[in-house]
Amino acid sequence: MPELPETETIAGDLHAAICGAGIVRVQVVRADVLRGAPSSGPVARRSVSRIDGPVFARRLTGQRIARVFRRAKSIVIAFENATQLVVTPRFTGALILSGSAVADAYACLRLEISDGRDLRYTDVRRLGTVAFLDAEAFAEWSGALGPEPLDPEFTVERFSGCLRGSKRAIKSVLMDQARLAGVGNIYANEALWRARIRPSRRASSLRVAEREALHRELTSVLREAVAARGTSFRDYRDAFGARGGFAAQLQAYGRGGEPCTRCGAALKTSHIIEGRATVWCATCQK
């Protein structure tokens, strides 16, 4: 599932490639991935829900792209009229930019860009979503998310506030998008291994030095993964269809049963926390 480094890579690629371009044609192939909010009415009644393909296409056609950026695990295409297209790839989704339309059996949505290029959202399992939101609906969505770990304002003190009072496992808190945006299973495993903290520890039990170490290692591993253009195992591809290169640098995730590169003990694997694969060293991580 694309996390912060992967969606940051895609957003950066697209911003450089299509900022300022217009959308001249919209082809909806699989409408079940589409979401939207009513274009008017009280904010409290404007929850994001499924939207008809023709309505979605009509709202999107003619829009001009002002900016592409990332929020949490989503890619946001912002338009000049303050509306946004929020793409959340989840497990098998991808945004691919091509020089022209190409055959793609899993394409759900195609956007023809004003320079003739083709931007398509493709999703094998169709678990991701593509939402068209106005400014108020976007602010409500974004406001429900936690702080961004790569923002300059994300200090140790702010990180400590994300953990404060929680009796949940520290790994669960790291992956809770309402507490901290963008971190998923891969980088939670990696940051905890680097910081020598057991994933099942209560978040509130971390001492000051441990919170400082985890803040440092979390931000470091995310920046390193962005520099490597993300982690590819099976499905993740960047905006041009290329694989990320960070998998070779993983020390915990996907290495259950292999020797810990720090102490040599066999890494353990469990699915108790959030039903996701947790990999840790019982010798190094306390």
- CA separation, residue 156 to residues 6, 208, 211, 256, 263 (Å): 24, 9, 7, 30, 28
Q: Is 54 a catalytic residue?
A: no
**Whether the Cβ atoms of residue 70 and residue 2 lie closer than 8 Å to each other:** no
- Category of 139 on φ-ψ map: left (φ > 0), alpha (ψ -120 to 50) or beta: alpha
Q: Is 274 a catalytic residue?
A: no
Helix H or strand E segment including 256:
none
CA-wise closest residue to 235 among 91, 73, 88: 91
CB atoms within 10 A of CB 93: 26
- Annotated catalytic residue within 2, 5, 89, 149: 2
- Category of 196 on φ-ψ map: left (φ > 0), alpha (ψ -120 to 50) or beta: left
- Annotated catalytic residue within 35, 46, 71, 73: 73
CA-wise closest residue to 28 among 7, 48, 51, 11: 51
Q: Is 243 a catalytic residue?
A: no
Q: Is 147 a catalytic residue?
A: no
What residue has token string 């829009």? 63
CA-wise closest residue to 55 among 77, 33, 31, 76: 31
Is 246 exposed, middle or buried, given 0-12, 13-18 or 19+ CB atoms closer than 10 A?
Answer: buried
**Whether the Cβ atoms of residue 92 and residue 124 lie closer than 8 Å to each other:** yes
Q: Residues with catalytic annotation?
A: 2-3, 73, 276
